[in-house]
Amino acid sequence: MPDRRAILASRILVADDDPAASTRVAALLAAQGYNNVDRLDEPARLNEHLHRHPTDLILLAVRPPPHQGLELISRLRSQAGLQGPPVIALTEPADGHLRGQALKLGARDCLTRPFDQLEAVQRVHNALRSRRLYRQRDNQAAELEILVDRRTAELERLALEEPITGLPNRRALLNHLQRCLAHEPPSGYLLFIALDGLDDIARLHGYPASDALLGHACRLIDGHIADSDMLGCWGGAELLMVCQSLSNDDDVFRRAEAIRDALARDHLVDDLLVSLGCRIGISHAGVDAPGADQLVRLATLALPPQGAPAVRAYAVELEQRHQKRARMQQLMREAAPGGELHLVYQPKVYLPTGRMVGVEALVRWHSAELGMISPGEFVPLAEANGDILAIGDWVVDEAIRQLAEWRERGHVDEHFSIAINVATRQLMHSDFAVRLLSRLQRADLPAHALQVEVTESGLMEDVAVARQTLQTLADQGIKVAIDDFGTGYSSLAYLKTLPVTTLKIDRTFIRDMLHNSHDRSLSNTVIRLAHSFDCDVVAEGIEQRQQAELLASLGCEYAQGYWFSRPLAAGDFLAWKRRYEARPHDRQPSDTPPTLGSRS
């Protein structure tokens, strides 16, 4: 609240063309402590005076026309509104109708001569007090507006900024990209940069370490951008660079490769020496896509897969491949119910005698719309989107059905076994083992007739769950094989703790073993390692007789590959089996190999 001292210091103007009257009013106010009172004997010059002297209150004489009092009140209010100083109209006793007009035109109050001094001073005090309160509140509102504007600007800045790096975020990047595309003709390139290894750093060393590495990577990349370019964060481990400074494909590839080289090395961050890599997808504004969102999508589509060259530009073929992949994903859900899946069977041979002892069941998909689709295409997609669970269930049911039929008709003997591949998602389901065993029981098949094959990477996803599931199967007599051994997270630790009976040597070690001593040594090491853990060995990808003979000499028990047979449909397999068994092999007729998965 304004205090009395502040009110007494207010600047008051007495405007009256009667000097004697204005002098009396000024003297009255001065006697009450108002020591900042001006007099204006020419009210017509009111605007000029107010322009030179800021005023808090005007006491203005109002008389009948042609006097200008009422006109001055009207002009003040039309020019300054509530921001102008309040006016108290000074009238004569006979001018009662003027008081109503003055108040109507905007005067705050009226005083009639001769004044009651106490009343007059109180009315002046009230007017000044209201004026000061209004100005205080007006100032507070202005200050609040400034604070709100500043906070709004700060919030808008934060809304466009990624908090860890301080770089523009996705919204800011899209806004900037839209502005760039609004130019005619639109030009420039978009680099979508995926940082590889950042998530691993977070898991191993914590998020502060990965945040520090992200900031370090951004600073390295910042050294490769021009002033007209923008680098920002698209996601947790994804950056986006809008490059208007580049005008041709050669320049953008050089820029991308320089960024790749800057990142693809070890980095010292917070006393940690960590490695980081990147992959970069490129799209071209004005050529590849008309809009910002679409241009980003095409850059992500161009992002190379893991293990491929790190820089790739968008091409129409990538879009076609993506569309096919999307359509494949839609059709996959109906592949099993629609009868489009089938199994093929690749024989496994016992190397010491050459006798065929079992098969591996492999799933194939012949789409009515897309034709024959390679397992290398649809299996990874099914694993990524979860459809592998339904496909895996179908494989288990079909393999068990086929084996039961073969046994019932006498096509295979009691030692014959069938191996099925189990995906990571299947293995991680707590009821997988129970459901598999119940299916075997319903089909009246012994447990040793079935072998499950799992990958090292699948085991490592959750070793505890994998151990529990596989132990349940092993306790009932189902054999467990590690597929593609040596190509994943090879670790002696899980071989000690998991109920593994078989290691499968990947075909990559077999392919050149006749001519490559390193591959031959690796195969020998795997065989010796497996035997030390009381596991037998299956070699995949045998394509030459010499490979089979060499593996047999190294102690490998079992083999499969095109040297024996390609994967065959059920009917073709039985025909092949009859022909194969009719051929002489280096074995006695009574030779019976051990059950696959248990060393003799």
Model pLDDT for residues 285-294, shown as the tens digit of each residue: 876 667 888 8
pLDDT one-digit tens code per residue, 550-579: 999 999 999 999 999 999 999 999 999 999
pLDDT one-digit tens code per residue, 434-449: 999 999 999 999 999 9
CA distance 391 to 333: 9
* pLDDT tier at 396, thresholds 50, 70, 90: very high
The type of residue at 449 is A
Q: Indicate whether 593 pLDDT > 50.
A: no
CA distance 214 to 262: 13
What pLDDT is attached to residue 208?
A: 87
What pLDDT is attached to residue 597?
A: 52
Among 549, 518, 530, 547, which Cα is nearest to 598's? 530
Among 173-177, 443-447, 465-469, name the most confident range: 443-447
Among 331, 342, 432, 339, which Cα is nearest to 387's? 331
**Pick the residue with more confidence: 597 or 333?**
333
CA distance 233 to 55: 56
DSSP letter at 341?
E
CA distance 395 to 168: 49
Domains of the chain: 4-139 (3.40.50.2300), 170-314 (3.30.70.270), 326-582 (3.20.20.450)
Evaluate whether 231 touches 225 at the Cβ level (below 8 Å): yes
CA distance 282 to 304: 10
CA distance 432 to 356: 29
- Which CA distances in Å does 587 have to 353, 409, 561, 583? 5, 26, 20, 11
DSSP states along 464-519: HHHHHHHHHHHHTT-EEEEEEETSS---HHHHHHS---EEEE-HHHHTTTTT-HHH
12-17-18-21 Cα dihedral, nearest 10 degrees: -20
What pLDDT is attached to residue 77?
A: 85
* pLDDT tier at 587, thresholds 50, 70, 90: very low
